Structure 1
Amino acid sequence: MVGPASIQFAYSQEKVKTEKVLTIAVPFGPKSSVPDPRARQNGWLSNRAGVSETLVGLDYQMKMFPRLAESYRNVSPTQWEFTLRENVKFHDGSDLTAQQVKDSFLKLNDKDHSAYNPRLIKLLNIKEISVKDDRTLVFETNEPNSAFIWSLTEPTASVIKEGTDKLPIIGTGPFVFVSAEAEKNYHTKAFADYWGGKPKLDGIVMDAISDASVAALALKAGDVDLVTNYSEPDFAALEKSNQGQRFEGATTRLFFYQARTADGPLANKELRQAISLGLDRDLIVEAALAGVGGDPAHSIFPVTMESWVNQALEASYDRDKALEILDNAGLKDTNDDGIREIDGENIVLKLRSYEGRPALKPTLEVTQALLSKLGLKVEISMGEYQANNDALKLGEIHMHLQAWGTAPQGDPDYFPSTLLDSEAGYNFSGYNNPKLDALLEKGRGEFDPVKRKVIYDEIQEIIAEDLPLIPVFHKTQVSVGNGKVKGYRIHPAETYLASPELDIEG
């Protein structure tokens, strides 16, 4: 299981004894043997592994900072000028130049290239990239886009040079890509010429272990040194006995249901509203997270995102009100079989989730029990993430329980635009609200943060009323090490992990 993945990195038994290689259990692995950081979800793994970097980054207070860019400025509503940091080298030893940055971004729009990323293309909406000199370039967008600079912090917006047989992925980070096995492992080695200083580690192995209990066993057996997504009940037990090397940190990750609103039973808004009222979020947090690692969600954004969260919203648990809404909507049990009906048919809701995050399955199970108290029949199952999305899009299931970082870029536009815009690639609910589309467009075009706050407050109000997404809880990540891990921090956006300071005691 995890042993061979760790062993594969060893160049020889002698090297294993002398090199400092940190093995980390992560819930998800690479999507291919050469996972281009600019495509799909590969960028998150690559960024966390320290292989790829973006022009702009997010610090641990979710504030922007220059990364590969030394500085940047908004020249006009549609133009952004970047000056690159000096003495940055790619992993093949060549210098980072403005032309290389331009070439990397142009690949995002090439359907025949491994970097093709239609979702990021839509978010960035680039019209033209102009190179002024070796260290200066200008991005021009088709329309004013205040979220543009924030979108550049996303891991898939990384700067990558065309690979070779020897170096299939050429980034600029503190670690060099060595090899990967789809859905299993990702191996790196230290980059001595990294602009931010030579790493303390000689290499990192990311082992994909979707089952948290298996990851905990791997840690106990010494097969891994750190488990990033530890089981919350097991973490609570360690906390109670004051054992283990424990790490925890609040994140922007939201556990939520994406509901199929275009057709089927959940096209009925009153039913969606009753479902939300029927969710005892405090109970779910206690049951699924053992009382650690989460807070009930009242909006898509956590309260820690003070700049953007709509504090006036409250997703309360009110079973009596939920029953009243169902009755008033005519969704009643007319044949006394214990199940309410819609258009003469029993309401049977199919809910699905996926492995990789320990709290998903128990959240699904508690939801089933809670909704049964409303007279709704609920069938639950676990599947593969993308297969679940496909099933939701086809109306084969009615709700997909997911866990997303709602602001991996630090900006409020990403999450609603990616999931709820009527033309969004991840809008598998079929939700279509012209008013919301207009507000999202308006939000992207507004540069004044005070005025943007008003817009995104209204967006959150619409979501809370229509409930194409039903928030459940916001997640705090808990991790456990073997007692030897040094320099590890949990980032609120969960997009950073490997750094020159990351280390393990010999």
Structure 2
Amino acid sequence: MHKLIRLAPLLLLLGATTALARNNSLVVCTEASPEGFDIVQYTAATTADASAETVFDRLVQFAPSSTRLQPGLAESWSISPDGLVYEFQLRKGVTFHSTSWFTPSRELNADDVLWSFQRQLDPAHPWHTLSPRGFPYAESMAFAQLIERIEKLDDHRVRFTLKHPEAPFLADLAMGFTSIYSAEYADQLLKAGKPEQLNREPVGTGPFVFERYRKDAQIRFRANTHYWAGKPAIDRLLFAITPDPNVRVQQLKAGACQIAVYPRPTDIDALRQDPALQVLELDSLLVAYVGINTRHPPLDDVRVRQAINLAFDTRAYLRAQYGEGNASIAVAPYPASMLGFNDKLNPWPHDPEKARQLLAEAGHKDGFKLSIWTRPGGGPTNPNPGIGAQMLQADLAAIGIKADIRVYEWGELIKRAKNGEHDLVFMGWAGDNGDPDNFLTPNLSCAAAKSGENQAGWCNPAFDGLIREARAISDTTRRAELYRKALAIFHEQAPWITLAHPKQFAAVRKGVDGFQLNPMGSNNFARVKVNP
């Protein structure tokens, strides 16, 4: 019975894919539905894949499979010696997408850049209050407090003036939340009283034009034939939304999709044995963790948080979730390869006796109750959510903490966690720009606690001061010293259970060329070719 239920959608997708294959199309089996298409409201990698990496562009961008910056919508830029003024020369001849709901009357210009940023930064902007989710990156990274002003110098020149130097600022401008929108399209929607359409029917300058979306089923795009960087090699792109990693593998093997992202690490060895497939592997900038909601007593007590870290057998968790050699144990919010990693820190040992002692000292000798939140399906930072939650539940029970497991669809999980409804929540993060600040400020700063993006709700003034100081200087030696101090505070205060730094995998059918894994976790298909 269960096999027939699974087989029916597989056959339907296979039939649709066969037709698409004849039309130079690419089908990607992906892990989850996007939260929406207005990328400035969201932080999930699946949302970035469906919007920032397809529909939109930014002033600067990362070179493929790299953290190296290169020109995007800005063909060149200059930075003042004091690091406060950035001037960008925009490309000429860049056009926004023409769709059934919008036809642009002009090319991209400086007005679009100003609209895209001021919407997020200026409370008086007519669109500022129209974002139901707010602007999580801009808020948690305190962009409104960083940027003094943005000026249009002429139709193709824009100047940013900062209030203080910000070492990762240029790399920040390659992140999804700085995508450039059409001010003309936004004006059209506002006049029509349909601002919500911006999140449902996106318009950008990117390599693919959005066509339609069926929630929890598929997203369809067509190639942007007027793309400034050259038309993509494929004519159509389809995301087949497939939360179950087993089904993703079935669809890939059956030819229902040509790329399956985020296969379970424990399936990698078997996938490598299939002659029709190629497995791609990359040491990515990923961290898996459990956020401990410090706003909920008794989790506001550092002894309780330390006890929870001591109770959980993270080494057993890594073996069960990732298999041998597919992830390294996490000690800090970012991998050891990055600037300022503190190599004096050690993973929390599995020590239930010490955990019970700390609980007793905190006045909880008989334990207490809490909830563990996770998602269905699985992705690179949480390959098997059910097993992981059950392992944590069992280890907490061993020290007297009774935990119930609650499973929410990905978008609902993120929304509720932002509201602070959880006690413990399994989460993951992919670095967006290759800088340590991108792991710390969006996830652990006081500003991020205020916006809700900091799932731990943790605001430590000493930690916050260190990462703010590190952002404001360019001296890498000094920055590294500040980050090492900040990581020591993080480790001692234990607002997370840091779990793993997983490797990133994708399985690709033979005949698909040009797809590269991105160390920052997102997926771009503009350079992919499908050979008949």
Q: Would you say same fold, with TM above 0.5?
A: yes
Q: Distance in 1 between matches of 2:311 and 2:341?
A: 23
Tell me if 1:464 matches 2:491. yes
2:375 is aligned to: 354
Alignment of 1:71-470 (within 5 A): 71-75=76-80, 76-92=82-98, 94-109=106-121, 110-113=127-130, 117-122=134-139, 123=141, 124-125=143-144, 126-161=147-182, 162-163=184-185, 168-239=201-272, 244-305=277-338, 307-319=339-351, 322-324=352-354, 326-327=356-357, 330=360, 342-343=363-364, 345-355=366-376, 356-357=378-379, 358-385=383-410, 387-388=412-413, 397-405=422-430, 407-424=431-448, 425=451, 426-470=453-497
- Superposed CA offset, 1:388-419 (max 9, x none): 456667776421111111x2122222332222
- Superposed CA offset, 1:216-266 (max 9, x none): 222233322211111222223223677732112121121101102233232
- Higher mean alpha-carbon deviation, 275-284 vs 466-475, is at 275-284
Question: Are 1:36 and 1:114, in contact at CA under 8 Å, matched by a contact in 2?
Answer: no
Q: Distance in 2 between matches of 1:465 and 1:74?
A: 38
* CA positional deviation for 1:464: 0.7
Question: Are 1:297 and 1:472, in contact at CA under 8 Å, matched by a contact in 2?
Answer: yes
Q: Distance in 2 between matches of 1:114 and 1:233?
A: 39
SS in 2 for 1:313: coil
Q: Cα distance 1:309–1:147, how it changes in 2: closer, same or farther (>3 A)?
A: same
Alignment of 1:49-60 (within 5 A): 49-59=53-63, 60=65
**TM-score scaled by structure 2?**
0.82
SS in 1 for 2:152: strand
* CA positional deviation for 1:86: 4.3
2:524 is aligned to: 497
Question: Are 2:304 and 2:358, in contact at CA under 8 Å, matched by a contact in 1?
Answer: no
Q: Distance in 1 between matches of 2:48 and 2:28?
A: 15
The answer for unaligned runs of 5 or more in structure 1 is 332-340
Equivalent residue letter for 1:310: N
Equivalent residue letter for 2:341: V
Q: Distance in 2 between matches of 1:350 and 1:225?
A: 39
- Higher mean alpha-carbon deviation, 221-230 vs 111-120, is at 111-120
Question: Are 1:251 and 1:475, in contact at CA under 8 Å, matched by a contact in 2?
Answer: yes
* CA positional deviation for 1:138: 0.6
* CA positional deviation for 1:155: 1.1
Q: Cα distance 1:422–1:488, how it changes in 2: closer, same or farther (>3 A)?
A: same
Q: Distance in 1 between matches of 2:202 and 2:17?
A: 17
Equivalent residue letter for 1:324: K
Question: Are 1:91 and 1:171, in contact at CA under 8 Å, matched by a contact in 2?
Answer: yes
Cα RMSD of the aligned pairs, angstroms, is 3.1
Q: Distance in 2 between matches of 1:67 and 1:146?
A: 20
Q: Cα distance 1:374–1:114, how it changes in 2: closer, same or farther (>3 A)?
A: closer
Q: Distance in 2 between matches of 1:244 and 1:393?
A: 39
Question: Are 1:47 and 1:496, in contact at CA under 8 Å, matched by a contact in 2?
Answer: no
Q: Distance in 2 between matches of 1:31 and 1:388?
A: 11
1:37 is aligned to: 39
Q: Distance in 2 between matches of 1:386 and 1:26?
A: 15
- Higher mean alpha-carbon deviation, 64-73 vs 456-465, is at 64-73
Question: Are 1:289 and 1:359, in contact at CA under 8 Å, matched by a contact in 2?
Answer: no
Equivalent residue letter for 2:136: R
Q: Distance in 1 between matches of 2:475 and 2:178?
A: 24
Question: Are 1:47 and 1:495, in contact at CA under 8 Å, matched by a contact in 2?
Answer: no
Q: Cα distance 1:38–1:381, how it changes in 2: closer, same or farther (>3 A)?
A: closer
Question: Are 1:43 and 1:156, in contact at CA under 8 Å, matched by a contact in 2?
Answer: no
* CA positional deviation for 1:17: 6.0
Q: Distance in 1 between matches of 2:507 and 2:32?
A: 17
Equivalent residue letter for 1:58: F
Q: Distance in 2 between matches of 1:391 and 1:134?
A: 42
Question: Are 2:78 and 2:86, in contact at CA under 8 Å, matched by a contact in 1?
Answer: yes
Question: Are 1:236 and 1:290, in contact at CA under 8 Å, matched by a contact in 2?
Answer: no
2:68 is aligned to: 63
- Superposed CA offset, 1:318-362 (max 9, x none): 42xx5235325525xxxxxxxxx9446433342121124233332
Q: Cα distance 1:118–1:443, how it changes in 2: closer, same or farther (>3 A)?
A: same
Q: Cα distance 1:432–1:226, how it changes in 2: closer, same or farther (>3 A)?
A: same
SS in 1 for 2:360: coil
* CA positional deviation for 1:490: 0.7
* CA positional deviation for 1:70: 1.9
SS in 2 for 1:38: helix
- Superposed CA offset, 1:353-398 (max 9, x none): 1124233332222333344444543433322345545666777642
2:3 is aligned to: none
Q: Distance in 1 between matches of 2:13 and 2:164?
A: 47
- Higher mean alpha-carbon deviation, 79-88 vs 386-395, is at 386-395
Question: Are 2:303 and 2:358, in contact at CA under 8 Å, matched by a contact in 1?
Answer: no
SS in 1 for 2:89: strand
SS in 2 for 1:346: coil
Question: Are 1:91 and 1:191, in contact at CA under 8 Å, matched by a contact in 2?
Answer: yes
Question: Are 2:370 and 2:403, in contact at CA under 8 Å, matched by a contact in 1?
Answer: yes
Q: Cα distance 1:170–1:313, how it changes in 2: closer, same or farther (>3 A)?
A: same
- Superposed CA offset, 1:93-131 (max 9, x none): 753322322223233352354698522333332332111
- Comparing both structures, which one devotes a greater share of its residues to helix? 2
* CA positional deviation for 1:478: 1.5
